[in-house]
Amino acid sequence: MEIEWKNRKRKREGKEALPPLYTQEEATKSLELFKPVQYDEIIEVTEGIKVRFNDAGHMLGSSIIEVWVTEEGVTKKAVFTGDIGNNDIPLLGSPTMIEAADYLIMEATYGSRLHMRNDDKAELFLKIVSETLNNGGTVVIPSFAVGRTQEIVYELNKLKEKRDDEEFLKQYDTLMKVPVFVDSPLAISATEIFRENMNLFDDEVQEEMKKGDNPLEFHGLQFTKTAEESKELNERDESSIIISASRYV
């Protein structure tokens, strides 16, 4: 799609079309080369090189990678963290603690920031949403397709259990009366992957699941599965909440 867009521009400028870096068929065929591995499993890549994937707690499947390399009888260990999650991210477990390394390559996106507790985020979110809905508006939540969308769905499902005072319950009641749309094909596909891998959720969420509470479902939640359904959201007169990927950002 990217090369199609570039070639339309090149055609208007009288330039020759460029070939794509790869085709959809090649991308699909490349999946045959992928081999899934489990967390905490030490894998010998080749003689003298071993790796282990550990849960990074950032998003479903994210990993901290340990690499052991042995040369001339000496073994050194390198650790690449990738993006590291917080200890209180909804749905996911906490990042694995790595005890030692000879070399550490570490992300530091939020290295100088203090994060707001998720309890505070939920209450602030509910206040803003209920004010918007009471004024007849629609709430549009820009969200990454993978991870953030599923966390928002989970938080919406859990809000009622956080407080029991009258004002909070009034705001919650306002929120629950409107439909919530997930408007992103990629986010919908990612949510299905979350549903298929609930064994990776944290212990508290898994206990809720045993009681029959699906953390990614609640009354009023709807997924737009076609371009037509997505366009229809623009014509709605009624208030709603739309969780959308970059199209709305």
The most confident of the ranges 29-33, 141-145, 159-163, 201-205 is 29-33
- Look at the block and give the residue holding tokens 């090369």: 3
Residue 247 confidence (pLDDT) = 46
Fold designation for 118-248: Rossmann fold (3.40.50)
Q: What's the whole-number mean pLDDT along residues 154-182? A: 71
* pLDDT tens digits, 104-152: 998 877 777 776 555 566 677 778 888 888 888 888 877 664 556 566 6
| DSSP assignment of 55-76 | E-SSSTT-EEEEEEEEETTEEE
- Look at the block and give the residue holding tokens 């898994």: 206
Could you tell me the sign of the dihedral formed by the alpha carbons of 221, 223, 228, 230, in that order?
Answer: positive
**Confidence band, pLDDT 50/70/90 cuts, at residue 9:** very high
* pLDDT tens digits, 173-189: 777 778 888 787 666 67
Annotated domain spans of the chain: 2-33, 42-105, 118-248
Give CA torsion, residues 20, 24, 26, 27, to 10 deg. Answer: 110
Q: Are 60 and 147 in contact (CB under 8 A)?
A: yes
User: Which structure tokens are listed for 72?
Assistant: 């001339």
* 224: pLDDT strictly greater than 60: yes
* Amino acid, single-letter form, for residue 188: I
